[in-house]
Amino acid sequence: MNLKINPAFQSLLPRLSDDEISLLRSSIERDGCRDPLVVWRGVIVDGHNRYAICRDLGVSFDFREMDFPDDASAMDWIDQNQLGRRNLTPDAFKLALGRRYNRMKKTRGGNTSKGQNVSLSLAQEHGVSDKTVKRAGKFAEEVEATPAFQRAIHEGVPVRSLKKAVRQEIQGMATQAHHEMKEATKHWSPEMKALLTPEMCRQRGELKRLVSDIIKLPDAAGYRKRHGSEWEADFLVNVKKAIAWLKLFLIADNGGNNESS
């Protein structure tokens, strides 16, 4: 039987490590596919790895047909099902919980709808506090907007430690850039500074303010909020680009202004 894969469904499921894939493959080779796949209208909802291995090995499999009113309901079932498993990392748990909260809020038009409190309902269902659910919602928004955080969760790396490492790297780069700016402009003559066009001065000022923001930056969500959607694709890459631009304007062209000294 040929089943379809919806990338939006598949992306909600934690990726298995190479070792886990190897163990699953050995299990299916030895015992067959013991757990049925979950399917909705010919699309896999749960069991993507088992399906791929069974197809590769030519092993038959069973499936259980589910009925959902729409894609959002199927996605909520995926997250709910994941939250019932014991092998989730703390970040993966928060991400799935936060996605459920944000999805239900959107569907119901807010946290409270028709007398039902979404965060409180989810808190009772999953054995956490109401505040934990709301914090998970913010965490999910941040992760979904930051590819580096998504990769960290898939690889089992705590997002908090990644944030710390990224922040330290950014602060180091920004501090070095400030030092190089001062050294490069320290001995410039008034004549050289007079050669700079107003537009180049304006660009330099904007880039220096950006580096100041970077040094104070608490997290990727704050950075995204300050600088708009064009910066969302990859947080750290764009920070590095910003500092490279700063060096280009302030050092490579041998220009500067009074604010740099």
SS (H, E, C) 93-135: HHHHHHHHHHHHHHHHCCCEECCEEHHHHHHHHHCCCHHHHHH
- pLDDT at 15 (0 to 100): 85
SS3 label, residue 53: helix
Question: Where does the pLDDT of residue 132 fall: very low under 50, low under 70, confident under 90, or very high at 90 and above?
Answer: very high
Percentage of the chain modeled with pLDDT above 70: 62
Lowest mean pLDDT among 46-55, 92-101, 163-172, 179-188: 179-188
Question: Where does the pLDDT of residue 181 fall: very low under 50, low under 70, confident under 90, or very high at 90 and above?
Answer: low
Summarize pLDDT for 65-93 with one digit per residue, the tens.
Answer: 999 999 999 999 999 999 988 788 999 99
- pLDDT at 200 (0 to 100): 53
- pLDDT at 70 (0 to 100): 94
Torsion of CA 220, 223, 224, 225, to 10 degrees: 120
- pLDDT at 184 (0 to 100): 62
Compute the distance between CA of residue 97 and CA of residue 123 in angstroms, rounded to an integer: 9
- pLDDT at 234 (0 to 100): 46
Compute the distance between CA of residue 134 and CA of residue 94 in angstroms, rounded to an integer: 10
* Better pLDDT: 50 or 214: 50
Query: What mean pLDDT do residues 131-138 have?
Result: 95
Query: What mean pLDDT do residues 153-162 have?
Result: 86
Question: Where does the pLDDT of residue 259 fall: very low under 50, low under 70, confident under 90, or very high at 90 and above?
Answer: very low
Say yes or no to pLDDT of 128 above 80.
yes
Q: Which two tokens stand for residue 145?
A: 């907007």
The one-character DSSP state at 251 is: I
Say yes or no to pLDDT of 58 above 90.
yes
Residues in the chain: 261
Compute the distance between CA of residue 233 and CA of residue 84 in angstroms, rounded to an integer: 31
Q: Which two tokens stand for residue 142?
A: 């941040």
Highest mean pLDDT among 32-41, 136-145, 156-165: 32-41
Say yes or no to pLDDT of 232 above 60.
no
Question: Secondary structure of 69-96 in the HEC alphabet?
Answer: CCHHHHHHHHHHHHHCCCCCCHHHHHHH
Percentage of the chain modeled with pLDDT above 90: 43
Say yes or no to pLDDT of 252 above 50.
no
Compute the distance between CA of residue 231 and CA of residue 228 in angstroms, rounded to an integer: 6
Query: What mean pLDDT do residues 83-105 have?
Result: 92
CB 208 within 8 A of CB 200: no
Lowest mean pLDDT among 186-190, 212-216, 227-231: 227-231
Mean per-residue pLDDT of the chain: 78
Helix %, strand %, coil % of the chain (to 5): 65, 5, 25
